[in-house]
Homo-oligomer: A and B are copies of this chain.
Amino acid sequence: MAPITVEHIAERIWLSIAERRLRPGMRLKEAELAEIFGVSRARIRQVLTALERDGLVKTEANKGAIVAEPSAEEARDIFHIRREVEQRVLARLIGHLDAEKLLDLFAHVAKERAANATNDQREIIKLSGGFHLMLAEMAGADFLWGLMRDLVSRTSLITAAFRDSDKYNCGPDEHEELLMHLKNGDLQKAQHAMVHHLEHVENELKLSGNLDLARSLKDALL
């Protein structure tokens, strides 16, 4: 049996948040999580600090951790910064790209397509974020990769919080279009496609209106 690692647990929680099974504001008690995953509290503590770093949970001293409750303004900040980071990633990637990497990327998109066909939500979420992280990793820029991991996590949370439908769709088509431009070595078009892609995701969220799902108790009663 595979060992239960910190990353494994963190991913599990991330997916639960992205799938809306864990809602913003929900409390995450250490002992409870330790019981569920069959590990010690020390391990859970590491998981929670990692999740906090990625903006998925918020912890307060002596009060424990809850699933983060992003505001609409924060969501816009995140998309704004993400736009810049992704463009930078592409600029750095252009120099490091070779045929093998391109093949890997296209293969990844193929997997996304397969997951979409079978409607496997969990897989779709993992692969959608994975595509963007893959670009950052191939760019060989550790700092940007770390930022992207953060931004992808936060985007998942935002999507879960502000999207109407249950579908999480960072579409394969737009990913593939992007790859075509990369294959042609056309940075500007690739960046443009990326920006368009992100705007597409952002525009499907209800960021302007009042958010109605999973607010805190006091907000719900006022």
Contacts and interface: CB of A to CB of B under 8 A. Distances in A.
Interface of A: 46, 49, 53, 55, 73-74, 77-78, 80-81, 84-85, 88, 92, 141-144, 146-147, 154
Contacts of A80: 88
Contacts of A73: 92, 141
17 contacts: A46-B49, A49-B49, A53-B53, A55-B143, A73-B141, A74-B141, A74-B142, A74-B143, A77-B88, A77-B144, A81-B81, A81-B84, A81-B85, A81-B143, A81-B144, A81-B147, A84-B84
A143 B85 contact: no
A54 B49 CA distance: 13
A53 B84 CA distance: 21
Interface of A is mostly: helix
Contacts of A142: 74
Contacts of A143: 55, 74, 77-78, 81, 154
